[in-house]
Amino acid sequence: MLNISRVEELISEHGWKKAYFCRTFNHSRTWIDDWKRGRGLPDENMIHAIADELNTTVEYLTDQSDQKEKLLVNGDKELTDYLEMLRTRPEMKMLFDITKDATKADVEKAVKIIEAYLKK
95 & 84 share domain: no
Residue pLDDT, tens place only, 44-63? 999 999 998 998 989 999 99
104 & 57 share domain: no
102 & 80 share domain: no
77 & 111 share domain: no
23 & 72 share domain: yes
State the average pLDDT for the chain: 91
Residue % of the chain over a pLDDT of 90: 65
Q: What is the pLDDT of residue 26?
A: 94
Please state the rounded mean pLDDT for residues 19-24: 94
Please state the rounded mean pLDDT for residues 78-93: 86
How far apart are the C-alpha atoms of 49 and 89, rounded to whole Å?
Answer: 13
Contact 11, 54 (CB under 8 A): yes
Full residue range of the structural domain in which residue 79 is found: 1-88
How far apart are the C-alpha atoms of 38 and 5, rounded to whole Å?
Answer: 14
71 & 107 share domain: no
Number of domains observed in the structure of the chain: 2
Q: What is the pLDDT of residue 120?
A: 66
Q: What's the one-letter identity of residue 67?
A: Q
Class of residue 35 by CB neighbours under 10 A (exposed 0-12, middle 13-18, buried 19+):
middle
